[in-house]
Amino acid sequence: MTRSRKELGASPGQQRSIWEQSLERARRHPDYGLADFLALLKEEKKKKTFAALPPLDVALWPEDALKPNDLDIENSRLFNERYIELPTVETVGGNGKLHWLPRLFLLFHNLALLLFLGLYVAAFVDEKLDVWSAIGLFAGYLCAGGIPFLFFYFLSPFSPMMRHAEKKGSARYNRQAQLVHISCGGDKVLHVPWRHVRALVEFSVMPGSLGGTGLVLTAPRPWVLDELDRFSPRGKPQKELFSLPYGFWTGGDRSIPGILRRWEFIRRYMEKGLEAIQPDPDLKKGGLLYSPGAEPTSTRELGHVYALVFHPLERLGYFLTFGAWLDRQAAVAEEALDGFEWPEEVEELCAPGADVAAFNHQPIPARTDIYYRFAGFNGYEYVDSRGQPASGRHGIDELMAEAKEWPSGKAKPVKDDWEGAG
């Protein structure tokens, strides 16, 4: 007998019970979904939109890594020897500021309003403003400005739907337990073993360009999500890669070198701790460090075109959407939501001297005979401890065998037996 959609949906009690098992499942079955994940990863590497970065035991060439590290890690509550806490996608752009997407829709509305007010005034001055023309102009404004305003309203903290939303927290990269804790709102948290995480480069533009790229962190899909899917109308888990959130400012991730540095920032911390990710002293002295999830304090490193053209346009858009006033109102609306606190079980695993014996908590040491570094249109290449291209030794052939062609199409791989970065 076929069950109805209502019968397939998990009850609140069932959902609560599933989420309560999240950490215990990660402890008892740390390799859950690993085989399916590796199969999905193999399929993704066949696509021209993805290229895999090396596994966790291969570090970025030291002369390329974290030069410069421009992240401010002085907040000991978020950056310490036990864990680092990075914003999730939902919380990037927060800190009392209205998210860029509703602000963009508000900008469309305001520009449409200015346009149609100008047309009204022009028609009135020319004595051509009759009833029908006024109705036509108003209808045009409703289409061009009213629809974007509705999107702004429902995506902003002022929406009635947002008043009942669960405030989401961040993602904690727990070095002490070698786990990643991901807030899903309220007291719902996913737990992912760090040793299964793999990094991908996603190309959001046509192959052949190194622009428009992004860092994607993937891992086996947690048991909780699969179990909730069994109660969905489809009644079976989704076969898709699970992505971990991280909250670096996206502007620093749009180039291959930027992606490699950001990935190395997380990988190196999980291996060696806070001392390995200290910021560049010159940037710190100049006040140019910024927190993950926030834009840099200076646009100098983005180039003259950005500083002279795009940055003024951004400031103009900020002004046209009532800038600071709207941010203050958004902050008030967000504060009305229930605050987020990590569940007690997460805080216990993140506390000094926590009992993590139930987890595989040994950091993954990076190899000292093999590194990888940026290699232009080839993406990256493997090198030995002297910085010389590596091939046919140190187990490099096994790494190359899993590789795929870097989707640039502008240069051949460094070695004929290497099909690109993977």
**Size of the chain, expressed as the number of residues it contains:** 422
As a whole number, mean pLDDT of residues 186-192 equals 90
**Lowest mean pLDDT segment, chosen from 52-61, 254-263, 330-339, 394-403:** 394-403
Q: What pLDDT, on the 0 to 100 scale, is given for residue 56?
A: 93
Q: What pLDDT, on the 0 to 100 scale, is given for residue 178?
A: 97
What is the maximal distance between C-alpha atoms in the chain?
84
- Name which of 191, 150, 151, 157 is nearest 173 in CA terms: 191
Confidence of residue 337 (pLDDT cuts 50, 70, 90): low
Given a cut of 80, is residue 5 above it in pLDDT? no
Given a cut of 60, is residue 94 above it in pLDDT? no
Given a cut of 90, is residue 196 above it in pLDDT? yes
DSSP letter at 71 equals B
Amino acid at 374: F
The predicted-structure confidence for 364-383, as pLDDT tens digits, reads as follows 999 988 898 887 766 788 88
As a whole number, mean pLDDT of residues 271-277 equals 93
β-sheet with 179-183: strand ranges across: 83-87, 170-174, 179-183, 189-193
Question: Helix, strand or coil for residue 406?
Answer: coil
Amino acid at 120: Y
Q: What pLDDT, on the 0 to 100 scale, is given for residue 403?
A: 43
- Name which of 303, 199, 290 is nearest 241 in CA terms: 199
Q: What pLDDT, on the 0 to 100 scale, is given for residue 282?
A: 85
The tokens of 148 are what? 């974007």
In this predicted model, which residue has the larger pLDDT, 115 or 203? 115
Residues whose CB is less than 8 angstroms from the CB of residue 10 and which lie 6 or more positions away in sequence, other chains included? 18, 228, 231
Residue 260 · residue 64 · CB < 8 Å:
yes
